[in-house]
Structure 1
Amino acid sequence: MARTESNMLPLGTKAPDFELQDTISGKKLKLSDVYGEKATVVMFICNHCPFVRHINKGISKLAKDYTDKEVGFVAISSNDVENYPEDAPDKMKQNAEDHDFIFPYLYDETQEVAKAYDAACTPDFYVFDDQLELIYRGQFDDSRPGNSMPVSGRDIRTALDATLMGTKTYKKQKPSIGCNIKWKS
Structure 2
Amino acid sequence: MTDTESNVPDDRRNKIIHRIQTHEHDVLTTQEVADGFSESKKTILRNLKTLDEEDRISGRKTAESGGWLWWVTPANLSAEDSVTAAQEILRLLGDLFELRGEFKVMATGLLIAQSVLSFAILAGLVSWLEIYPLSVESIFAMMGVGFFFALGLIFAAVFIFPYETLGHWPHAMKNEEAD
- Give me the TM-score of the superposition, normalised by structure 2: 0.22
User: Greater Rg, structure 1 or structure 2?
Assistant: 2
Higher helix share: 2
- Give me the TM-score of the superposition, normalised by structure 1: 0.21
Higher strand share: 1
